[in-house]
Amino acid sequence: MKMYKSKNGSTKKLFNVAAFFLIPIILVFTCLSTVTKAEVQKTMKLEIEGLFNGKEGTMVLKNLKNDSLYVYNSERSTKRLTPESTFKVPNSLIGLETSALRDEYEVKRWDGVVREFESWNRDHSLASAMRESAIWFYQDMARDIGEIKMLEYMNQIGYGNGDISGGIDRFWLDSTLKISAVEQVDFLEDLVEEDLPFKKENQKVVKRMMIQNEQDNYTLHGKTGTRLSDMGLGWYIGFIETDKETWVFAVNLNGTGTQAKNITIEVLKKMHIIN
């Protein structure tokens, strides 16, 4: 190793000088390499046009184990649309967190107004209102939460455009709040991992309320949403836990939530995620 004399007479190794300059360079290249890998998304195109039967729509499906992303109609996947009843998921989280409801079993009394679905016309708990998609229950809860708290949590979770100006009891129903399928998947991923700004117990409760099908080798959690004014927008969002991995998904189309759910089930079968 070559040696040199410093001005103060002390002996230093040239290796130390070289290292001083080389280490930052190495770190720069390491950081660049990391950024490059992060930017390379494992995105695959879903060939499922036939399942939409001529209706315009999109699907985003993500494997949380390896971050693989599958997309049908990438252009529409980033288009923000009204969430309709899929907003019951964040609405439930906010309701529990703000103590608008004590727990998922607390009952709200039916007001006697006859609405379009018979299953709505009775008393409901948070869990049953989620299951039956009883809009009146969630409207009442949103009023109890209030605009200040609702906006505070909407900003914290970064849900779509966060616009609740359409009215505290209907901003998510063919109104001002809008979110894309990609954003729905991001939100659901945080929910699955219990990484949202809510108590973990509240996140567990909402995930449990979303269970729609529980089998030996998988559990399907989901929520439909339909624009009731014209049945012209349908959503199905959720996640599926299998023995090996967890997938999150969001589907929307110019149709109904039931149609979106049927498409989702067919894709999960086609990809051998469920049997």
Radius of gyration of the chain (CA): 25
Integer Cα distance of 193 and 203 in angstroms: 9
Q: Which residues are catalytic?
A: 85
Integer Cα distance of 203 and 214 in angstroms: 19
Query: Percentage of the chain with pLDDT > 70?
Result: 85
CB-based burial, 107-131: b 16+ in 10 Å, e otherwise: ebebeeeeeeeeebbeebbbbbbbb
- pTM comes to 0.85
- Kindly state the DSSP code that residue 53 receives in the 8-state scheme: T
Lowest mean pLDDT segment, chosen from 25-34, 55-64, 193-202, 239-248 = 25-34
Enclosing H/E stretch for 21 = helix 14-39
Integer Cα distance of 173 and 187 in angstroms: 19
DSSP string, 95-146: HHHTTSSSSTT-EE---S---SSGGGSS-EEHHHHHHHT-HHHHHHHHHHH-
Task: Convert the pLDDT of each residue in 224-261 to its tens digit.
Answer: 999 999 999 999 999 999 999 999 999 999 999 999 99
Q: What pLDDT score does 15 carry?
A: 38
Integer Cα distance of 80 and 260 in angstroms: 16
Task: Convert the pLDDT of each residue in 116-175 to its tens digit.
Answer: 999 999 999 999 999 999 999 999 999 999 999 999 999 999 999 999 999 999 999 999
Distance of CA 3 to the CA centre of its chain: 61
Which token pair is 255? 């149709």
- 10 Å Cβ neighbour count for 96? 23
